Every structure is written in structure tokens, then in C-alpha cells.
Structure 1
Amino acid sequence: MTNKIDEKNLKALAQRGLSLLRLTENRWIELEACRNRGTKFSLTFPHAISHSGRPNTLVLIATTGRTHTLRLGLIRSIQAISTLDSRVMFDCVLMITPRSINALVAGVTSATLRGPINKLKSETVEFQPVSKKLGEKLIALIAEVPANAAVFQRILAEVGRPKYYENGHALQENAVNLALKAFGVVDGAKSVALPGGNTAIGAVRLQEDAVIEHDARWIPGWHLSNSDLTGKAVFTRRGEQLEVFTANKRPLEELFGVDLIYLNQARGSLVMVQYKMMEPKGGKRHRIKNGVPNIEQHEVREWTVPINAQFQSEMERMKKFDNDLSPEGPYRLNPGAFFFKLVRRHSAIKSAGIMLTLQHLTQLIEDGCTTGSRKGLSISYSVLDGHYLRSDPFIELVRSGYIGTRSGTTEHLQTLIEAALTGGRSVVAAIQSAMEGLSLEESNRSQVPE
């Protein structure tokens, strides 16, 4: 089934402008033989020609020779690299229908566009802008072809990626990227377009020269063996298996109080992460122009996360499942499943954030370290005083199996996860009810449906 294109976002993208890049068949063969197989590449032009396009605008790539092909992509960036030349980075490049410029412009019937069409067909410059009105019409014609929907989905997901921690979507994107990086999927980037745009799996970057649709495309070395609308994707590579879940206000989050769950099959370990936004406390504020909308920057001495009723409720849910059912199993520095990642609001998505275990946070609360002047609870940088994990060390510990649940707990939690995904809120309610009066192991035996 073809995903529906977001017409409002597509119109906004079309209004940014369109450029045309002409390539010979031999040049395209060279690009296709490179690491990214033509999905991402850069070319250099004199400054004046380079600025025929603008970053984050669309580009048509027409290849001529024995055969004609037409591709649509995104101009990622334009950067001066010498006194005379600039480098233009093209990304998210995929083949579209129709297969040639002539076939595409044949669908334009407006008499007012005949001049721009003739100019486009007669000129031979390698890289040039397309007139605004003609560009919008050509993009509309391409979008009318159902087979091109996946191309637009990929580009729209890329230009719509959040750059700052402003909302839950930004947190989810970072969460999935953290999980993928922990399993070695660390190369640059192509976006994933799965149904269910509200899940982070629908718009994260995976690996260069790769794009995955719900109907299963490929990643070099990895295979998407299963995906569904619950926010779950299963990847396999050389005997390894990576499972990524995003709760996204679904039954999994209701059950465990977490945003992200990922499973290291090779080590038999499972780790769950809850994201929390750190808010500025005190200091001055000012706004800077950095795209739309403008970003408010804070000059602060402290960042804190309020431990409110919702936060405490999430911690209580986590504690119900925080038992080691196989202490005799593989060695762990910490056999707990639950972690918190704290990120500063408005900070860049690529910023590291800090990691805390559930046990560490619980100890801080019990010791009174998180009590504020008005007896409210909050976590702050000054209280932690560097006593936390950064994301990269955390990733290495997950990858090596030094943290996360052992086999018994992992199997139990897997059972609960699958039950919650397939049974929805009714199963979540049954599990929660069982947890009130039974131990974790007893609950697994008596309440989870087979």
C-alpha cells in the first residue's frame, strides 16, 4: 500500500524552488559505483552555477545516453571549497516516473509556461534553476504518480527532522538513533519512512545508501525482517538481531513508563529508556534567528527536571518490573532494565545528554539530594556533579552486554512486550492488575496470555 503524501508539506517544499542537474550516462555510472550508490553524492561547480539551487530544495537529475532516466533528490548543502568553486551535496536521490524531462514537461499544458519549458529543453548547462511556476507544476505532476510517493515521503521526512529538543518527536528521534548506534548502525544517513508518522521509526536516520519503506526495502548488511504500526522494527545482520520499539503513548509506555525499548538478542539483554526534558532555571534569555521558528537561547547557571507526579508514577511502574530473575546468568555491571536520559530543551539533537539508572535516581531521592527549596523534587546538574553516564559510554555498555537485563528477566519482559503489542490496553490492564498482588515471576506465569 502506498503512503499518502502530506500535501501541505509538499506544497511548502515545492514553493522553496526546484533545480535541474544534467548528467551523462557515464557520469551517473561512476556515481552509482560509489559507496552510496548514487543516493547521496557531491559535485563541484563555479560559485555562480552552484547557487543555482538552495539548501533543502528539490532537484531533478536527468541522465542522458543510451537510456534516459529521471531522479528526484534534495540539495543538502552548498559550501565554498576554494576561491572559485563550491561543493553541492545531493541527497535522498531516487528514480521517478516518467523517465525523462521531455516526458515530464509533456504533461504541462499551460500556455504561459511554454517559454520556460522551451528554455529548459534548449539549454545544456549542467546545473540550473527551474522557473518558480514551472517548478511547482513539475513537482505537482511528479506527485500525481502513485509510484513516486515513497520518494516524496523520504524527502519530506528528511526536511522535517527536528534539529532541536522542542517536543516529544525530537526526543523519540534521538531515542531511536541511540538504539541504532548501540547496535553499530552509525554511518551517516538516509531516512526511514514507515507508516505511522507519529512514531520515531517513521522519521529517523539509519545508514548511508539505505532507505526502508514499510513494504521492506534493504539496508546493506541488514535485513528488515518485520515491521508494524505499533512502532516496532526488527533488523538482522550476520546472525545479530536488533529490535527497536517506540512506545509513543501506546500500551508499552502505559505499561512500563518508558519511551524506548531495545533488545540485544546476541547478549540476551534488554534496556528501556525514558526521556526527560531539562528546563532552564534562572538566567537570561534571548532569541536567535536559526531557521523557522526562531530558537530561544538561555544563558543559565542550572538545568533541572521536575520530579512531578507523572515522573513518580513512571518510576513506580518501572520498579514493578525491576527484578533480576536469573542472577546466576551472564555478568552485568547493572542488571536493571531502566534508564533515564536527560536532555536540555532547545539544545541540538546531536548533543549528548546524560544517562541515569533507575537505581541511581531512586537513591538520590531517598538521600534527599533532589529536594528543592520548597520541598519539591527535581534533578539538576549541580546535584549530579558529573556522577552520570554520557551517551557514548552508555552505548558501548549496551553493545557489550555489560548492562541490561539477564536472560530470565529479558524473556519475561519480551513476553509482556509482545502481549501488550498484540493485546493492547486490555492486556496492559490485566498485567497491571496482576502486578498489584503477585511477584514478577508469578505474574508472568499466571496472567500473560499465550
Structure 2
Amino acid sequence: MAKEESDDTWTRELKMHVAQRPIVILKLQDRELQGLKETKDGVRQFSLTRAHDEARGIPTPCICLFFAERSRPFGNLVDPPAAYATIFKSKAAATTFDSRLTLRRGVEIQPSTPSEMVELFKGEKFERDIRKRLDKDAPLVRLGPKESIRLIEKLLNVESNRGPLRTLTGGLTKPKPESNERLQLNALKLALRAFGLQEEAPAATMNLAHGSKTGLTRLNVHEDGVIEHDARVVPGYEFISSYVRGQATFRKGEQTLEVYTANRRKLEEAFGVDLIYLNLFHRNAVLVQYKMLEPRGSKDEPTDWVYSEDDHLHKQLTTMRLFRPRGRKHDGFRLSREAFYFKFVRRHEPEASKNFLLPLGHFEELLNDKKHRTAKGNIRVGYKGLDGRYMRQTAFVDLLRAGYIGSDASTTENLRTLIASVLTGNESLVVAVQRLTHPHEKESDDQRRMREWEVDTMQPL
């Protein structure tokens, strides 16, 4: 069982990172600031050029701070000042003289001005040095390791900064190839693909349980859409309970995707899976169990990638078979009413396109085929043995998105009720719910785009 993350784990990781790769302060020109307001992604992600000498010696990825203005929807108002933290992801030669700087995952932080930032250090030994660096007239200003750690500590003391900084921390590194976190992130990205979004699509909102580890922090989010809660209860959302570690919502047209990372023990006992995708629009459900493919031969030049039976398989299969509909009329058209799938992932390689899926029925056929058995009688499945008879993720996602695979409507509703009743335990499972967007959520999105617009501050036209 995975040990729950202590409250200070991610903050400790962030401090260690800025100690090794100190914070950089970016000075934007007026034309650049104005240009960012007019782009689709705004300050969340952008790129720009700086002279090679100005960017030389900065290790990436690192945290980058810059000061700008928060856009207002009406041109007759003054845009208020705002401070942003982002990931300085990479730099590369753009021209003979300039480097192209790539910045991602910009989030708004407090305080919003350089003078207020200096005020955080009032009376401390770094006050003068921080002021000097913030006032320095240079495109890129690097802080020292100790200054960077102290600045992060100051920013973390501002409660509203914790959620945004936590998502930045999640984007600074990638999960280890052999970790459970990698599989959780894979499941989250699969849910986004099934919803019709790219993996880097920003969440409209993200709610993170205080002190709990969740793969959601490795996803993108709108700059003002993330909150860390002391309590784990987020009112108004299905499945949120004291066992939910994080929740994010994504929008696409009139549809909403709610993604939850939840504790797993009871859910795995109930279903034997790692990902549950409920589509309330097409009223179908698909449940996915991840299995690892190991290289046969050397790691550098494997002759095949093979899954060898693990200790959990028999119990998982027994659990899945309990949910097969028997002796009743089907509710809703499906090409296949199979709800359970196995996704086979290469352990040492992150490339998702090389993975494949098998429906439970096909996997059961393999179980009864002697050529897929070892001398000891255990199941062994590899690319060569399947001879191309498997499903790639693209085909799986297309069928799921169209509502052509998965449980029928009645079974889906029963699964939905059961999931809500058994959320408890340890480790992480991903639950994704696709549904219509509620009117109050549309209003909330409008309010986010209005950027704290207040009616009583409107000036006469």
C-alpha cells in the first residue's frame, strides 16, 4: 500500500528544487505584456526570445516570477497589477543571437507588486538584496539558492498561494517510469483523451485535499483555478468525500468532465480496476486495469514486451466477472457491452502509443489458450503472441467517446451508485465523470473570465 503523503512533502520538494535551480525573475517589456493579454493562453503558457548572454547559465526547468497586469474584460478600466509564477521549461537557440524561452503553467500568486514582495522580507537580512534584484534593470534576474528558498517560504505562508505553487511543483519533474504515480498520470491523460481534450488542456477548476498526494498536480490548470483545501469536502460535487484526494473539472462546449483521484482499497476490492470512466451523456461506463509489460531480452534491445501473471490477477478477474449483466434486456446500443478492459503499459518507456488494451472477454480467451501459458501454467501475453490482435489507445478512445463501448445505461447507473458507496481506503484510483455542464458552472466560468469584475467599479461610458 502506498503511504499517504505528509503535509510538507511537496513543499519540501519545491524548496529542494529552487535550492538546486534558483528562481529567475523575468522582466517583460510593455509590448510583450500587452501582447500576452491578447493571446488565447495569456500568461499560462507562452514563449519569447532573449539574447543568448542574458539566458546563459540558467538551469531549466526552474521557477520563474514576473509582474504584469490582470486583464479586465472592459477597455475603459485600468488593469490591476498582478504577479505570476510559471515554469521556465526550456531554452533553445532561436537565431544566431537569441534564445527561445518556453514558459508553461503560469499561475497567479500574491503579493501582486514588487514593493509588496519586498515587504514580505521587512526587517530580515534578505530585504535589501531582494529589493535590489527586483529593481534591477535586466531582462532576466537570478536569485541565489538561499534567497530562493526564503522567497518560497514567504509565498507559502500566503494561503492562496499554496494551491497554485503545488501545481507548479507537480510540473517541475516527471514521475519515475516504474512508479504507481506514472500509471495514475497515464489514467488521468486517458480520461482527458476520451473527453476529447489534449493532455495539456487546462482545468477550469482544481480542488486539492490538503496534505494528500494526487496526480492532478501534474496536469495543467487556469492561472486562477486551483485551490488547496484544509478540509477534503468540496460542497456541490458528486463523489467528494473525506477519501477524495483531488478533483478537477474540464470544459468542452456544453460538456463537463469531472476527474477525481480517490483512495483505492475498497474500490479495487469492488471492481479490480485503476480507472473508472463514467459518461453520463452516453450513459456508458468503462473500467480499466493497468498491467505492466516487461522487456524480454535486454532492456536496450528487447525482442518483445511481455506481461507475466501477477499475484493480483485471479482476484481481479473474479471481481470483474461479478458485474457481467445476465438475463435482462439491454438498455442502449453498444457495439460491445464489455465494461472491463486491461491496459498493458511498457514499464521502462513513457511512450503511450506503444501501449495496448484488451477487453476482458478477449483476455479470458487468452487464458484458455495454451500457447499463452508458461511451463508452470501462468498466463503470459506479449506483442508477438497477440500478432497484432489488440486495441491501440486511439481506437479505444474513439469508441469510448462515441458511446459505442462500455456498460449499458442501467448498469452504468448501478455502477455510479456503488462507486459513491465504497470510496475508502489507501492508494489512488482515478474516477472520471463526463456530463452536461450545469448553468451555475457556466456562470462560474464567466466570472473567472471577468477576473473579479465588480459591478460597482464600472465607470460610466
Above 0.5 in TM-score? yes
Shorter chain as normaliser: what TM range?
0.7 to 0.9
> Is the aligned partner of 1:265 residue 2:287?
no
Q: Distance in 1 between matches of 2:317 and 2:97?
A: 59
The answer to whether the 8 Å contact 1:18/1:129 transfers is yes
Which structure 2 segments of 5+ residues have no match? 1-5, 70-77, 230-235, 426-461
Amino acid at match of 2:339: A
Structure 2 counterpart of 1:36: 41
The answer to whether the 8 Å contact 1:44/1:50 transfers is no
Are residues 196 and 356 of structure 1, via their aligned partners in 2, closer, same or farther at CA, if it must alter by over 3 Å?
farther
> Is the aligned partner of 1:74 residue 2:87?
yes
Partner SS for 2:416 = helix
Deviation (angstroms), 1:184: 1.2
The answer to whether the 8 Å contact 1:188/1:208 transfers is no
Q: Distance in 2 between matches of 1:125 and 1:114?
A: 19
Structure 2 counterpart of 1:252: 267
Amino acid at match of 2:152: I
Amino acid at match of 2:304: E
Amino acid at match of 2:341: F
Structure 1 counterpart of 2:434: none
Structure 2 counterpart of 1:301: 303
Aligned length: 399
Q: Distance in 2 between matches of 1:270 and 1:388?
A: 20
Choose the corresponding residue for 1:363, options 362, 365, 384.
365
Which structure 1 segments of 5+ residues have no match? 216-223, 286-297, 426-450
The answer to whether the 8 Å contact 1:40/1:93 transfers is yes
Are residues 418 and 334 of structure 1, via their aligned partners in 2, closer, same or farther at CA, if it must alter by over 3 Å?
same
Deviations 1:58-109 (A, max 9, x none): 1110238986432222111112122221111112222222222233234436
Structure 2 counterpart of 1:83: 96
Choose the corresponding residue for 1:14, options 4, 10, 18.
18
Choose the corresponding residue for 1:242, options 246, 251, 257.
257
Q: Distance in 1 between matches of 2:222 and 2:122?
A: 39
Structure 1 counterpart of 2:50: 45
Deviation (angstroms), 1:316: 1.0
Are residues 325 and 411 of structure 1, via their aligned partners in 2, closer, same or farther at CA, if it must alter by over 3 Å?
farther
Deviations 1:199-227 (A, max 9, x none): 65533425676844367xxxxxxxx9556
Q: Taking structure 2 as the reference length, what is the TM-score of the superposition?
A: 0.77
Structure 2 counterpart of 1:444: none
Q: Taking structure 1 as the reference length, what is the TM-score of the superposition?
A: 0.79
Name which of structure 1's ranges 121-130 and 405-414 shifts more when overlaid on structure 2. 121-130
Choose the corresponding residue for 1:147, options 160, 166, 179.
160
Q: Distance in 2 between matches of 1:186 and 1:214?
A: 25
Partner SS for 1:408 = helix
Structure 2 counterpart of 1:334: 336
> Is the aligned partner of 1:277 residue 2:289?
no
Name which of structure 1's ranges 55-64 and 232-241 shifts more when overlaid on structure 2. 232-241
Q: Distance in 2 between matches of 1:419 and 1:273?
A: 19
Q: Distance in 2 between matches of 1:270 and 1:123?
A: 56
Amino acid at match of 1:202: L
Are residues 232 and 408 of structure 1, via their aligned partners in 2, closer, same or farther at CA, if it must alter by over 3 Å?
farther
Q: Distance in 1 between matches of 2:95 and 2:326?
A: 59
Amino acid at match of 2:412: T
Amino acid at match of 1:173: L
Q: Distance in 1 between matches of 2:25 and 2:208?
A: 29
The answer to whether the 8 Å contact 2:63/2:85 transfers is yes
Structure 1 counterpart of 2:232: none
Partner SS for 1:153 = helix
The answer to whether the 8 Å contact 2:331/2:408 transfers is yes
Q: Distance in 1 between matches of 2:105 and 2:61?
A: 11
The answer to whether the 8 Å contact 1:97/1:142 transfers is yes
Q: Distance in 1 between matches of 2:227 and 2:125?
A: 38
Amino acid at match of 1:335: R
Are residues 77 and 58 of structure 1, via their aligned partners in 2, closer, same or farther at CA, if it must alter by over 3 Å?
same
Q: Distance in 1 between matches of 2:327 and 2:225?
A: 39
Are residues 206 and 117 of structure 1, via their aligned partners in 2, closer, same or farther at CA, if it must alter by over 3 Å?
closer
> Is the aligned partner of 1:167 residue 2:179?
yes
